Amino acid sequence: MAELLAGFGCFTHAVVRAVPRSLATQALRSGNLEVDPLKVQQEQEDYVSVLRQRLGLEVIELPADETLPDCVFVEDAAVVCENTALITRPGAKSRRGETEAMKRALTELDLNIVEMTDETATLDGGDVLFTGREFFVGLSKRTNQKGAEILADTFKDYAVSTVPVQQGLHLKSCCTMAGPDLIAIGSSEAAQKALKIMQQMSDHKYDKLTLPDDLAANCIYMNLPNKGHVLLHCTPEEFPESAKVFEKLKDHMLIPVSNQEKGKVDGALTCCSVLINKKSKI
């Protein structure tokens, strides 16, 4: 297990998807804020540029599909751990077609593909938090117990615990990993309750980074050659108080990434990529 942990946050590839024009008007959303189509395109271009140019990942960019307004949020279509990819069955029926392009891309990367075929199961990748030691799966409007069981069957080397999601779309709408053994968590009562359940379920004691804003707790941690600990997080424009908290992480290369427009349709930073660590074949 120690060896697996040593590779936590190591990634070589990222799968992303272009933003369809239909996102602005037709994407699912809990609020009714207007999305600026040009700004959302710019945000996604900046996000991809950080992954490709700044961090040197090999980025596979899938084309947008106008019939799938939410398709930019690729995280929900697959859960990848080591060499295995679980192709999910998203909780929203309108999103189920998103898994096809993802399955093709991950097959081309030579991953072991497991498909979720049980029609009673639902799972969104946004509900799956992998800590490097274990999985926590949020039971939400989009993910059910059966989906969590299939994930546990797929990744048998790891413990899988379920956490009820009481507010927000997904478990990762209020918590993610901000480093090895470090959970970024929002301050709301629901977020703190979720953290308490995770702490009770786990044999391991995690450190926590508490942020004033739940949505700011969605950040992307990587451990990259020549760069060390890297963290993509909210911008000071979006969440000024939370951005100050991230600045306390002196060992991390901190990269603020704007998510203002995608946030209007419940998207977060982790939603827009599936990160993969491909070991080169000798």
| Res 282 pLDDT > 60 | no
Which pLDDT belongs to residue 85?
98
Read off the pLDDT of each residue in 106-115 and give the average, rounded to a whole number.
97
Domains detected in the chain: 2-276 (3.75.10.10)
- Cα distance between residue 282 and residue 270, in whole Å: 31
DSSP string, 205-252: --EEEEESSTGGG--EEEEETTTEEEEEE--TTT-HHHHHHHTT-TTS
User: CA 248, 254, 259: angle at the middle one, nearest 5?
Assistant: 110
| Res 4 pLDDT > 80 | no
pLDDT in tens, 165-208: 988 899 999 999 999 999 999 999 999 999 999 999 999 999 99
The 3-state secondary structure of 108-136, one letter per residue: HCCCEEEECCCCCCCCCHHHEEECCCEEE
119's CB contacts (< 8 A; 6+ apart) are 89
CB 14 within 8 A of CB 220: no
| Res 68 pLDDT > 80 | yes
Read off the pLDDT of each residue in 253-273 and give the average, rounded to a whole number.
92
Which pLDDT belongs to residue 28?
73
| Res 27 pLDDT > 80 | no
| Res 86 pLDDT > 50 | yes
Residue 7: pLDDT band with limits 50, 70, 90:
confident
Residue 37: pLDDT band with limits 50, 70, 90:
confident
- Which are the catalytic amino acids? 170, 271
